[in-house]
Amino acid sequence: MKICAIICEFNPFHNGHKYLIERAKELSGCDAVLCIMSGNFTQRGDICILDKYTRAKHAVLGGADGVIQLPAEFAVAPAEIFARGAVKILSAIPEVTTLAFGCECGKAVDFIESAIILSRESEEFKSELEKNLSTGKSFIKSYAEAFKHEGGNKEIISNPNNILGLEYTKAVLKINPDIAVLPVPRVGAGHKSTELRENYSSASAIRQNMQSPLVLRNLPDYVFDDLKFPADVSAFSSVVRQCLFFADKENLVRIYGCAEGLENRLKNLAAEPLNDVIEKCTSKRYSSARIKRLVCANMLKLYKDDCEKFIDVDLYLKILAVSNKSADYMLPALAKSSYTMISNSNGSTLNGDARACFEKDKFEHAVYNFITGGNIKDSMIVI
């Protein structure tokens, strides 16, 4: 059996995601599609508008055969760690032969060649990066210029979806080169577009225009029905802010991206509204997404030193959802993994660092329930 994997957030699941699953299965020639999905918080430090089990259900209804969870330590982390954590877990499943991802442009060979350049990060690359940063350019632009200086295709690295695709490819080359990468060109709106279109809008546009009648055209009916009653996430900013106010600087510097005295800046602003904290800490060197991710990680007690331990040990496969018609072959395929399969909140079979990582996931789920006032049961669903 061959499985094509997709790393995702699906916040929310929309027509473009359904298209990706369909094309991934078609182009890969695989027997099944397995999604590894973030839990209740995103890589950019936002709270999801629907819980992880609802979003996993949507993925299965949209064509996925199963969905497993990307541990919180990797899910609320910089793109490189997000990708490495996901590929590490997928590599423990022997049947995973392909990794598909959405892209703006480029073929598999383009991503592989570019990933090789980025992986080696020569002294010339680092020097060019610092030179561009010193002129006042943003980190993203400086990185792209350094990449071009090394002979890379600047077009590949200039789009958000391509950047994640490059990180996935880098992780595959480092962890398991036997996995084939499969870039699938996006259809419709761009990754950060906030304008609703007829049928292929971005998740950002959908979240920002929930009351528009056009939303229905961009979502499968089963997603739209659930989005009529999104989780109440109004308490999110308040909880994040309180956690920042009471945080120790010593723990803040343990979080990915908190460096160069940024912990002092955050603590000095901790009494202000969260939006003001993010705005005043954002600069050409520190994007707003980085600040949001940092304060979200602080709330969830996700630290770099813990993550570096978890990324080097055997972990687990936390199953969120499986298709009823696929269960007879998907569950046995996952059982062939060297990792323990977990289908609920009981991780008693885990030990050491794997157990510690699993406890972080349990805490993340509890925080989501607290913020939303919900009582989402932490247990696998079959659809």
Whether the pLDDT of residue 221 is over 90: the answer is yes
Distance of alpha carbon 372 from alpha carbon 369, whole angstroms: 5
Mean pLDDT to the nearest integer, 345-367: 96
User: Roughly what angle, to the nearest 10 degrees, separates helices 288-300 and 262-269?
Assistant: 80
Question: What pTM did the predictor assign?
Answer: 0.94
Distance separating alpha carbons of residues 208 and 121, to the nearest angstrom = 37
Instruction: Provide the 3-class DSSP secondary structure of residue 340.
Output: strand
Q: 183 pLDDT exceeds 80?
A: yes
Residues 74-118: pLDDT tens digits? Answer: 999 999 999 999 999 999 999 999 999 999 888 999 999 999 988
Which residues are CB-neighbours of 125 under 8 A, at least 6 positions away? 117, 146, 147, 149, 150
Between 79-88, 204-213, 267-276, 330-339, the lowest mean confidence (pLDDT) is in: 204-213
